[in-house]
Structure 1
């Protein structure tokens, strides 16, 4: 079935084309990707995407996930020891990230707030991480307020993580119309599937089970057409969507 292979190559090229535009790469990459989707994608992955992913939050999260599976408390211990040796801002942020990953969001929020001083007082990346911690420890209104202020002050700032946190905070406040608008925008441009998983769960929480199941099914079908490495990178979100699909199907069966 040659057309199927061609379709996969084109989908991969589209994935990298979106990445090229969003990350500000030279426009000639678009020509390479669409003129030679298979070879172009391989070259782009090796020269641009993989080196970048190594240092991206997603890449760091993937490596961190493996380390946590082998020794769940290692990063937190090392971050705590490093901060006690020298309480610099960078080490404080590392500790805050480790606390957040260990489901200690309240403590993480305290460290993020402490980091927002001096030259870092208006750092948008730290503010996004603080908003994430606030949301996780149940302070959705404060998280939304912080991000609303950031949007007003830095309308040019872009952060998919911040956008997802904002959508989740709006949903937690009960503003369904605004949350739906933010989630729809997110899944329209997100290269990964974390936003899809969060939106599907939110729809299910609202009782919109049909919409939640349809979103899961579309996303999982799309993921099957992606290369294996892309599926591995998005495995946590895809697994959650698969589990949600099963729960919704089971609930539908029991309700009949």
Structure 2
């Protein structure tokens, strides 16, 4: 049957395309149509043509499969990156919350001067403060501190008390005590280093049990400040006490 179809196609081609006899003349367009029909008829029974089509379809399917696999890999990588970002954000959030908690603890925890020195043989107590241009104002000492132009001296009067129960020499120069003064948001983080006999930074004297002696801290501050707006901070180890000036 297949051979018969092929033979008919060949005969038809011979009749149409040869110049023998007085056959019907066809235009170029009609000749092209006939040629396409004949080619289709021949290829219809060509097993090699069908296999080529099948192989092309399989190749296309393989390409689609590879593309889907690549898309799946990319999607997986994007998902892992998203998870990493979310984990980092969660970690940052936790760290931020931890810092807030620590800051809150430090803010809420307060100490008294008694608690600050409870494990020491001595205690410091705030008495009062004053502004002056020089200290001591009366020339009754060997050393006088004078403020520079546009500045004043903030003199903080303290007392050092012996709480050991027996007479002792109290030496504060090696105790690691920190002092700072804040007035209207401005911080004076270190007092002046002076040679005043009772400068608390270098205080060293023998005190009878239960008794106290005077000591001072001197800060140089802006001329127009009000000490009533100030706060003295005293630090020992990891504890800090804030004392409102008066």
Question: What band does the TM-score fall into relative to the shorter chain?
Answer: under 0.3
What TM-score, normalized to structure 1? 0.19
What TM-score, normalized to structure 2? 0.20
Higher RCO structure, 1 or 2 (CA under 8 Å, sep 6+): 2
Q: Give the number of the structure whose alpha-carbon radius of gyration is greater.
A: 2
Q: Which has the higher strand share?
A: 2
